[in-house]
Amino acid sequence: MPRTPRDRRRTRTAVALGVVAVLLAGGALAVSLVSRVPSAAAGPFDGAQLYVDPSSLAARAAAADPAATTEQPSSSATAGTSGGSNGDPTDVAQQLAAAERLAAEPTAIWLVPERYPIGTVRDTVSEVVRSAERSGSMPVFTVYGIPERDCGNQSAGGLSSDEYQDWVAEIVAAVADHRVAVILEPDAVALAPDCGDRTARMRQLAAATEQFADASVPVYLDGGHSDWRPPAEMAELLREAGVADATGFATNVSNYNTTEDEIAYAEELSGLLEGAHYVIDTSRNGSGSNGEWCNPSGRTVGQQPLTARAEHLDANLWVKAPGESDGACNGGPLAGVWWPEQAVQLAKGFSAW
């Protein structure tokens, strides 16, 4: 009798559990798929349990038939899945185990207009908010649709100037009066001097920040990272982008710098911004940076969300979803596409917990 999808899923899960011990060379994968740790968070995250997205790419990869998974990018900034296995049972089992483990951690949900356009994004976000509230958890959203996004690099795209504020307004309407947090436009501030019309970009960022602030939605304006612009320069850029209206700023989004380096950078930046608070992306910084930003080899997941402490740190979060490619570089698929081999490498970092 042919096996049903449920039978195949059970078989794959059993195989994956059997290779848990070998997935992490030299270490052991954490047994529990849901880690319960004391929260070190403050501000909007105080006492929060973060939302785990059941439809993340990691979750879909964990539930899919690896042999049937093919690359499906719909744009450079929209999410797809990629197979990547050569059919070896050990490789398949490791990829499944890595996907299941990564899927269990709360990670920000990226809102990109190519996938969630005007007219649909409000309903999509509202559905996530309702799901989170049913589970007593708090979602984190990354808003990523500014015009000239990424200066035409690996995640090129974004909306027109006329459309952007309307798109943001739909997101604000969906999250207002709910417990959420928003990371606003990774890289947009740091790229402003080098990407298009700086004045126009800063006005767009300031207007978007104001929309969230007026609705009392916690919003963190992206502040680059410790290996990019010096704190004094970044502070001036953040002021121009409207950080005074924001809850604070974010650092290390989609990057790999150590938590210690980011705290040092962010605390100095905070001192230049009248004590502004901040969040740090620790999703892939467990092995630090090797100087590359696009799919560097040998990286691992970093510190579990809501566990880091520093004077002005509201929370460490997983903003960039581990296992999703940075772009078509270093052997990876297009930006936002699931990359099973990278997921396996990143999952080795769980042994450090």
Which one from 53, 150, 222, 314 is the annotated catalytic residue?
150
Which one from 53, 187, 222, 314 is the annotated catalytic residue?
187
Identity (one letter) of the amino acid at 127?
E
Evaluate whether 52 touches 106 at the Cβ level (below 8 Å): yes
Evaluate whether 81 touches 71 at the Cβ level (below 8 Å): yes
Quickly list DSSP for 116-152.
Answer: S-TTTHHHHHHHHHHHHHHTT-B-EEEE---TTBGGG
Per-residue DSSP letter, 285 = -
Which one from 53, 261, 281, 326 is the annotated catalytic residue?
326
Give whole-number Cα distances, 256 to 9, 290, 295, 342, in Å: 33, 8, 10, 14
Element (H, E) at 215: none
| Calpha distance 340→324 (Å, rounded) | 9
Evaluate whether 259 touches 303 at the Cβ level (below 8 Å): yes
Told to judge if 91 belongs to the known catalytic residues of this protein, a careful annotator would answer no
Q: Which residues contact 257 (CB under 8 A, 6 or more apart)?
A: 225, 226, 227, 265, 285, 288, 289
Which residues are annotated as catalytic? Answer: 150, 187, 326
